[in-house]
A and B are shown apart, each in its own frame.
Chain A
């Protein structure tokens, strides 16, 4: 079956512009996660959606970052007024339920964001 997909695969934007990144999770997966991976570093948790519960936004680095998810479908991560330090690969993952339980996360290919 289809895996997690993300678009665009690459995005180059000018400093100060807004960008929107999209994630299509695996059908039926109630949990969805966004991570950021800067060059040579680990995965930094950004936000987590689980069903209809309030999202865990504890990892969002600033109020320029926001994310939405409608039901158990597509999610968009929006970065407003991009800065050069936002340059990174943004990864999305989905799982059947909370990955704190026995459910594996499936990762998408990521969106490589470059802010010039």
Chain B
């Protein structure tokens, strides 16, 4: 079955620490990959996306993600987090054979000031 796994449910970091959130998807051939963020009290919004080309994708607010096909992974990274990065982060995938986007269960990120 098509699925997305986010293994970290809650991550707590201090400001300036480096961040890596894991995301793995099930096999399904060609994939399109997304990271969405939901800041407290706000709507879900797109951080970055991968469709083709360079597997290292840069998004807003200094975030980046690397698509590693052999590992079915699309981990989100940021070299130095800020208190304002406190939010819930969702990985999502769509497969070429279907148009719907499947979301992971989310990772809550808490940053200690």
Contacts and interface: CB of A to CB of B under 8 A. Distances in A.
B99 A100 contact: yes
B36 to A, nearest CB: 8
Interface in A35-59: 35, 41-45, 48, 50, 56, 58-59
Nearest to A93: B44
Interface in A2-18: 3-4
A93 B90 CA distance: 15
Interface size class of A (residues with CB under 8 A): 20 to 34
B107 to A, nearest CB: 10
A1 interface: no
Contacts of B6: 42
Contacts of B44: 43, 91, 93, 107
B46 A42 contact: no
A41 B96 CA distance: 25
B103 interface: yes
A73 interface: no
Nearest to A45: B100
A42 B100 contact: no
B110 to A, nearest CB: 15
A99 B94 contact: yes
B73 interface: no
Given A105-B46, A107-B44, A41 B105 contact: yes
A104 B100 contact: no
B39 interface: no
B49 A104 contact: yes
Interface of B: 6, 32, 43-46, 49, 51, 90, 92, 94-96, 98-106
